[in-house]
């Protein structure tokens, strides 16, 4: 008898050398490098190369990659026109998925059969480069404004912040956002990455595969949790309401958003990093702790008391929504597209890894329908 495991929980679906998690110790590593070190010493562009190539690049290679990535920020005019034709109230994730899929028409020879060709590698770089531009463009277009042209002289993080606001951000904000991109760049075989590699296993082109990943990330159980955390905090309203709110949700067996992760039995290392970065930014800039951040800290304290025995601690979404909303001033509806923008580096790496050693995914099922039967005679 074949055992059915809902959601394939804990079932190895592939072999990968891209990232790893030690859930007991709370360790996330990209190609063996701990995420804490990458946030401290690296940048998003270098991390994208590390995920792609398996090793940290030398200075010359990194500068060449940055130059290529930054020069390719611009989006094709046809894609821009297509985005203008879409409803302004359309889901940003639907728009992003549509735009990435449409990009394939400009790169018809980006083939899974030849993943190491200069042409296909160029297409993968183009996806990562354009992701930031597309997200920033839709933030402007959906508000009725013309997109702000990208600046190839700016880093990936700085250019996005500039395109989204029209103002050059200060160095502290850029570094903070760059760290967020690194933290979200990769996380083993989650639902969206699994979508990407299943699509890749059919030898679908990288645009189709990453478009599938974007569609999967759009689901509320995957990519939208940081929005839900912010809504929850706003619903709580005040620190004094935290305990009763949490107890009521637990009594009614409702989710405490941003709490718990299938892979970690202790606090998500990305949540720890984000919390420390927010506190450091507040202290360095002599800012008062926001009401929402105070509520979040109290939620964590109460949940630690009530849920830690069950191995439930904050995940990366718990603090990212506050950071995006209050420091970067992003609209909630753009949180998940920004997540996708960062994760494009991981998706591209997984696409290449899958097609380089490919076997098409074809799982089986446990049939629960009717037994064989005859069609009734009339």
Contact (CB, 8 A) for 126 and 76: no
Set 70, 261, 334, 352: catalytic member: 261
Has 261 been annotated as catalytic? yes
Set 184, 317, 334, 350: catalytic member: 317
Total count of residues recorded for the chain: 378
What tokens were used for 349? 């790496």
Secondary structure, 3-state, the chain: CCCCCHHHCCCCCCCCCCEEEECCCCEEEECCEEHHHHHHHCCHHHHHHHHHHCCCCCHHHHHHHHHHHHHCCCCCHHHHHHHHCCCCCCCHHHHHHHHHHHHHHHCCCCCCCCCCCHHHHHHHHHHHHHHHHHHHHHHHHCCCCCCCCCCCCCCHHHHHHHHHHCCCCCHHHHHHHHHHHHHHCCCCCCHHHHHHHHHHHCCCCHHHHHHHHHHHHCCCCCCCHHHHHHHHHHHHCCHHHHHHHHHHHHHCCCCCCCECECCECCCCHHHHHHHHHHHHHHHHCCCCCCHHHHHHHHHHHHHHHHHHHHCCCECCHHHHHHHHHHHCCCCHHHHHHHHHHHHHHHHHHHHHHHHHCCCCCCCCCCCCCCCCCCCCCC
Has 178 been annotated as catalytic? no
Q: What amino acid positions are annotated as catalytic residues?
A: 261, 317
């Amino acid at each position: 008898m074949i055992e059915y495991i809902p959601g394939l929980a804990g079932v190895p679906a592939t072999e990968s050398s891209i990232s790893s998690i030690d859930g007991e110790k709370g360790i996330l590593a990209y190609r063996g490098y701990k995420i804490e070190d990458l946030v401290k010493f690296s940048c998003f562009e270098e991390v994208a190369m590390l995920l792609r190539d398996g090793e940290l690049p030398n200075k010359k290679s990194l500068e060449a990659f940055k130059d290529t990535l930054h020069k390719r920020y611009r989006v094709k005019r046809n894609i821009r026109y297509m985005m203008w034709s879409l409803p302004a109230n359309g889901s940003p994730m639907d728009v992003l998925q549509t735009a990435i899929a449409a990009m394939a028409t400009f790169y018809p020879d980006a083939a899974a059969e030849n993943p190491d060709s200069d042409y296909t590698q160029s297409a993968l770089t183009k996806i990562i480069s354009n992701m930031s531009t597309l997200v920033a463009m839709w933030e402007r277009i959906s508000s009725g404004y013309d997109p702000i042209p990208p600046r190839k002289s700016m880093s990936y993080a700085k250019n996005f912040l500039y395109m989204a606001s029209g103002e050059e951000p200060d160095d502290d904000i850029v570094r903070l956002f760059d760290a967020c991109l690194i933290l979200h760049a990769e996380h083993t075989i989650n639902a969206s990455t699994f979508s990407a590699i299943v699509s890749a296993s059919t030898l679908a082109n990288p645009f189709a595969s990453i478009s599938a990943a974007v569609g999967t990330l759009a689901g509320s159980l995957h990519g939208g949790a940081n929005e839900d955390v912010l809504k929850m905090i706003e619903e709580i309203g005040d620190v004094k309401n935290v305990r009763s709110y949490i107890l009521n949700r637990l009594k009614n067996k409702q989710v405490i958003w941003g709490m718990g992760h299938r892979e970690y039995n202790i606090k998500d290392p990305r949540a720890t990093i984000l919390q420390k970065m927010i506190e450091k930014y507040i202290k360095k800039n002599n800012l008062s702790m926001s009401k929402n951040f105070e509520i979040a800290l109290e939620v964590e304290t109460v949940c630690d008391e009530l849920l830690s025995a069950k191995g439930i601690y904050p995940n990366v979404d718990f603090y990212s929504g506050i950071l995006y909303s209050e420091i970067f001033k992003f609209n909630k509806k753009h949180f998940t597209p920004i997540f996708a923008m960062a994760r494009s580096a991981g998706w591209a790496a997984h696409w290449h890894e899958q097609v380089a050693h490919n076997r098409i995914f074809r799982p089986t099922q446990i049939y629960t329908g009717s037994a064989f039967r005859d069609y009734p005679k009339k």
